[in-house]
Amino acid sequence: MRIDEEGEGVSASRNHLVFAYYVTGHGFGHATRVVEVARHLILAGHDVHVVTGAPDFVFTSEIQSPRLFIRKVLLDCGAVQADALTVDRLASLAKYSETAVAPRASILKTEVEWLTSIKADLVVSDVVPVACRAAADAGIRSVCVTNFSWDFIYAEYVMAAGSNHRSIVWQIAEDYSHCEFLIRLPGYCPMPAFRDAVDVPLVVRRFRRSRKEVREELGIGDDVKLVILNFGGQPAGWKLKEEFLPPGWLCLVCGGSDTQELPPNFIKLAKDAYTPDFMAASDCMLGKIGYGTVSEALSYKLPFVFVRRDYFNEEPFLRNMLEYYQGGVEMIRRDLLTGHWKPYLERAISLKPCYEGGINGGEVAAHILQETAIGKNYASDKLSGARRLRDAIILGYQLQRAPGRDMAIPEWYANAESELGIGSPTCGMSENGSLICTEDFEILHGDLHGLSDTMTFLKSLAELDSVYDSEKTTEKRRERKAAAGLFNWEEEIFVARAPGRLDVMGGIADYSGSLVLQMPIKEACHVAVQRNHPSKHRLWKHALARQQGQNPTPVLQIVSYGSELSNRSPTFDMDLSDFMDGDKPMSYENAKKYFSQDPSQKWAAYVAGVILVLMTELGVRFEDSISLLVSSSVPEGKGVSSSASVEVATMSAIAAAHGLSISPRDLALLCQKVENHIVGAPCGVMDQMTSACGEANKLLAMVCQPAEVLGLVEIPGHVRFWGIDSGIRHSVGGADYGSVRIGAFMGRKMIKCAASTILSRSSSTANGTNGDELEDDGFELLEAEASLNYLCSLSPHRYEALYVKVLPETILGETFLEKYDDHNDPVTVIDPKCNYVVRSPARHPIYENFRVKTFKALLTSANSDDQLTALGELLYQCHYSYSACGLGSDGTNRLVRLVQAMQNAKSSKSDDGTLYGAKITGGGSGGTVCVVGRNSLQSSQQILEIQQRYKDATGYLPFIFEGSSPGAGKFGYLRIRRRVSLDPNE
């Protein structure tokens, strides 16, 4: 039902009425819009009793009337925030239980008595659930006025907390279902608990003074750019710096603490300052999204630079409204904290917000409430909303878990340090329902999943033909010039995407059969592939020279972006027939030699090797030429699986282009063969499995025996992982990694032989007079250990009881070979002259498997400081176990010590801790450190502080990995075609 935006207002001739208006305890935004509705009711001559936990001045500064009565009672707690930008989901549910569930019986009794005592004609709720039930018990009608309801908000929290809190959500929905109807505000969420809804315009506070008056009061000229900072109070320790603002800008700070010292270009507003006046005097606003900030920004046509909050389902709907009216610019959280504000502020003042809708929602809502109080019926007879709550739970979960939900880079803004430095395209729907990137491509299959890096890649792809046709190609980088000649734009192109991974737990224990926990990171590799008949292929000069005078034959041509950063050739090409040895594919060993001929092109083994593996393992024959473009934002040499992301993205794109159906698991196993046998790196399979099978914001749990995916582990809302790069280049092809792997396999062989010896001795004893040893050790256990396939199948207590003394600290390669013949590892070779460490590499996976299992179990335990401390301790133990194996490094050790220092600082202890542990990741010997901490703004600040301290000590500014994205299997592939221009002049 829709009420006209220009409603007839509230007539003062109505009977004197009494309204009981309940206000939720979640933020001032609710109180400020209640003020606007209550003001109109009081102007009409009615009494309004406001039940609230908000300060009196919020109401009395706007309404000076004896008809306003304020009763200070808090009957719900809203969402508990860890800081200005992070909602603590489990704490929110726990606090609501404490505030509204445990004392529910006494609350209802008290409210019924109070409503009866004031002789209320109507109960209004924004949006306190129990108020609706209390009204029903008192025999009074009730109406809710809101843009969201707590059943919808808490529904997503229940998905994280488990079924033990589900009764809370059902109870809230049941309470709401007692109200007559909902007065629904713009930017609303789904609210299935209500039987009917009446839509009204925006409810906003009007400004009292003009822009000119406010600026004169502040002593600010009209030529000064003014931004108002509105985060509902800045968190303690958040330091604003003069350089955050561009020259010629000033910032008004709302809600700053009394002790907060501000730079000269920041002005602190009084706590009771009337914000609308200062908003209207500003050029843009920087803050978090809430109904109050969005509605007032739209009504004043004030551009809004916003930073997303985690886990608050109201936000996507308000954000959509803000962006629909061209009034919003998204800032990534890291840029907020580091003061990289300039591009966002400059972008904001270039916007022209276009909201022209009504802003008299307070007046319209007051009219409806008055009509309802005197008996008018707005509600239809529909089913109870409690029955429809399941839809809200599912939708709430999907909103937070939508692919790309946590992507850090807004679509309009691309970091200058990114690979391509190109902004993202805008997208829409074509008439036939296919998605089209404006002026670029028609997407015939697949989904962008809201991933801004994919949009950027498509934009860069679209611009290649202009590079090819341009006379100024000499100004372009080598790789861009080479890529410009790759594709025929009349033909279809296939695009795949695969992320790198952060090794949370498991690391080098994967090849020993451990459970591993891996998180796909935000950074990913994109690969574009096109098939062409050899007669239609654009050939580079050297490829053309090879085929001169012959019939065209299939060719592989590859361009890899990023060559200038890693001192390698940007291009590689070969005849596909080079992969053949007679009528069979060439051996992996020969392929390894083939790609090693030119060190500057050895990188091509990761890409072209995919084709040989498909030929060898699946019998695929490639009869068309293949053009292939690789663009990866996964940094090389940082231990986050840049190679696996390239392999997985390449194989996904080639499989799609050739109609091959390969499951994500099988695809990962095939990619491991590329790395093991063609590249020659003896890695396990966890990297490829995570890149192929992972999902955003979840840990992939896998037992590497050889690759059994157990499932996805939800990262609790209060837990967060970061990666910090040490700047020391890591390589799984390095001697340290390979020798540690050899040591582990040597240890396994020794344990198997020792078990066989004990088994034989026990069997002999059992046939004699003494069977104690057989009884103690267990015949079946010894049999299993004598045929041990994976070290991780051995429990720590069995290792300590029977085998620790069997393993030497070190052993010479030739000594081992003389006694044990072989270590039975198909991807490493023992050097007889090399001395190998054995005990530490063998011990590490046995204990690491136990640590990972414990870590996984802890993730599902209750949110507590003890839980986070235990998670951190497991990371620390893993780190020092790496070091014992010889896989540490000065840089990674320094980063771990910095985390420890931060954790043990007095300030962290007094704030219940923020960072709890760190460990080296992946193959070790450099690369990235994984950090676990509380998901809060203060943790992010401490990560940035560690980054700066590391730079101060080493001169290197570490790259920080934060955020997650879907694996290749979840992404699928895109089949795209260049959009045909309708302009005859083009």
Catalytic residues, by residue number, are 687
Q: What dihedral do alpha carbons 946, 950, 953, 954 form, nearest 10°?
A: 180
Could you tell me the two tokens for 632? 């990866």
Could you tell me the two tokens for 91? 């704490």
Question: What sign does the CA torsion over 465, 471, 474, 476 have?
Answer: negative
Distance CA 966, CA 404 (A): 8
DSSP state of 964: B
Q: Helix 166-176 to helix 389-401 angle, to the nearest 10 degrees?
A: 120
Distance CA 58, CA 55 (A): 6
DSSP state of 145: E
Rg value, the chain, Cα: 32
- In single-letter form, the type of residue at position 570 comes to P
Could you tell me the two tokens for 848? 């690491």
Distance CA 28, CA 401 (A): 28
Q: Give the residue from 244, 242, 237 showing the smallest Cα distance to 262.
A: 242
Instruction: Give me the phi and psi of 125, to 5 degrees please.
Output: -130, 130
Peptide bond into 127 cis (omega under 30): yes
Distance CA 60, CA 309 (A): 30
**Beta strand 47-52 pairing with 181-184:** unpaired
Q: Distance of CA 879 to CAs 419, 425, 685, 853, Å?
A: 32, 43, 21, 16
Q: Distance of CA 156 to CAs 313, 755, 773, Å?
A: 8, 51, 56
- In single-letter form, the type of residue at position 5 comes to E
Answer yes or no: are the C-beta atoms of 573 and 546 closer than 8 Å: no
Beta strands (DSSP E) in 465-624 are: 493-505, 515-532, 555-560, 571-575, 580-581, 584-585
Could you tell me the two tokens for 477? 């980088």
Answer yes or no: are the C-beta atoms of 487 and 559 closer than 8 Å: no
363: how many CB neighbours lie within 10 A of its CB? 23
Distance CA 238, CA 225 (A): 23
Q: Which helix (H) or strand (E) holds 702?
A: strand 698-703
Answer yes or no: are the C-beta atoms of 291 and 147 closer than 8 Å: yes
Distance CA 146, CA 895 (A): 47
Distance CA 808, CA 810 (A): 5
Q: Distance of CA 318 to CAs 28, 148, 158, 328, Å?
A: 16, 10, 22, 10
Q: Distance of CA 870 to CAs 310, 384, 852, 895, Å?
A: 24, 45, 12, 19
DSSP state string for 773-800:
HHHHH-HHHHHHHHT-S-GGGS-HHHII
Could you tell me the two tokens for 871? 């998670």
Please tell me whether residue 546 adopts helix, strand or coil conformation.
helix
Q: Give the residue from 779, 747, 709, 916 showing the smallest Cα distance to 845.
A: 747
User: What are 629's strand-pairing partners?
Assistant: 528, 559
Could you tell me the two tokens for 243? 């350089």
Q: Distance of CA 515 to CAs 176, 512, 567, 762, 790, Å?
A: 46, 9, 37, 32, 11
Q: Give the residue from 700, 646, 716 showing the smallest Cα distance to 862.
A: 716
